[in-house]
Amino acid sequence: MIDRRSRVGYTKNKMQKETMKNTEPADGAYSLSDFYLAAYLICSGMELLRTDRAKPNRVVFVLADSQQRPGLIQDFYSRKARIDPLAYKDTIANLKSLIHGFKAGGVAYDA
């Protein structure tokens, strides 16, 4: 079966949705709730500042902003990202630990 979505259109649409979900606080930080994008950005060198509970079932990751962020996000959604797979796996495991500790009544992460 032929995929009717063009890869370019799909990537552009995904980037637009991500831009709407994310916020840029005035303190030089970047907030997002996309778990796997947050793991990728952290693996790419952006620092996790804290996690916040936005809604009962949503955690917001607050990262130190970087001039490279827009390019990193573009690479992630266009499938051009190049990071160490084991580092990505470890970052995912660490973020899951933060989230599950947070859900179990733990304290939000704050660097």
Give the whole-angstrom CA distance, residue 66 versus residue 37. Answer: 15
Output the pLDDT for position 92.
Answer: 97
pLDDT over 60 at 5, yes or no: no
Write 90-96 long-range contacts (CB < 8 A, 24+).
91/39, 91/42, 91/43, 92/35, 92/36, 92/39, 95/35, 95/38, 95/39, 95/42, 95/61
* C-alpha span between 23 and 69 (Å, rounded): 13
What is the reported pLDDT for 75? 97
Q: State the sign of the Cα–Cα–Cα–Cα dihedral 14, 70, 95, 82.
A: positive
The model's pTM: 0.71
Interval 34-71: pLDDT, tens = 999 999 999 999 999 999 887 778 899 999 999 999 99
pLDDT in tens, 82-104: 999 999 999 999 999 988 885 55
Which pLDDT does position 19 carry in this prediction? 45
Strand ranges across the sheet with 29-32: 29-32, 58-64, 48-55
Split at pLDDT 50, 70, 90, the class of 27 is confident
